[in-house]
Amino acid sequence: MAPPNPARTGVWVGIGAVIMSFAAYTSAMIVRQGTTPEWHHIALPPILYWNALVLVASSVTLELARQRIGGPFDRLGRTPAVQAAKSREWQFWYRITLALSVGFLVGQFFAWRRLASEGVYLASSPSGSFFYVLTALHALHVLGGIGALLYALRCLHADDGPRSVNVLGAVAVYWHFMAALWVYLLVILALWI
């Protein structure tokens, strides 16, 4: 039996809370769509799909980084010499992850600009309201995730040992959830908004 891991439990609890809150927003949207006759469907800016790829890619690169973290926790069982050479690689993949995550946020921003130029604002229509609420809140949680990634990076540099790897493990779960959440939202937006 694996020893208890509070960081991991904590992140799953947090994910539970985020799932419930987005479920609330989703049901609010479904109810709202049912009560109003004037639901104008929005054409989703294509950049949203690119952003999805970027976010999923950042999950992949994060996993690549995690695999390359050396030391006694190297699960590929490599020799110390190989480990030393590989240890720089994890930092490279980690930086790529951070860059991709910032890229995602920038891409979201451009999506909002595009919609605004088409006259779709927060209060201009019910579909517009939900689009902005859902995407803005997801972006806010991604921002929090970036903060968590930076915190984990700091822990790894301080080389706390098992603790920092645990922290990174928990942050990674959250990060993958952010990508999955975006895919879910994209489906919802494409089908409903």
133 belongs to the binding site for other proteins (CB under 8 A): yes
Q: Which stretch in 81-89, 102-110, 111-119, 122-130 sits in contact with other proteins by CB under 8 A? A: 122-130
Give the contacts of 11 (CB within 8 A, at least 6 positions apart).
170, 171, 173, 174
Query: Which is closer to other proteins, CB of 44 or CB of 137?
Result: 137
Q: For residues 68 and 101, which CB has a smaller minimum distance to other proteins in the complex?
A: 68
**Site track for other proteins across 144-163, x = CB under 8 A:** ----------------xxxx
Q: Greatest CA span in the chain, whole angstroms?
A: 68
Among residues 190, 46, 16, the alpha carbon closest in space to that of 115 is found at 46
* Mask for 12-51, x = binds other proteins (CB under 8 A): -xx-xxxxxx-xxx--x--xx--xxxxx------------
Around Cβ 37, how many Cβ atoms within 10 Å? 4
Other Cβ atoms less than 10 A from the Cβ of 93: the count is: 19
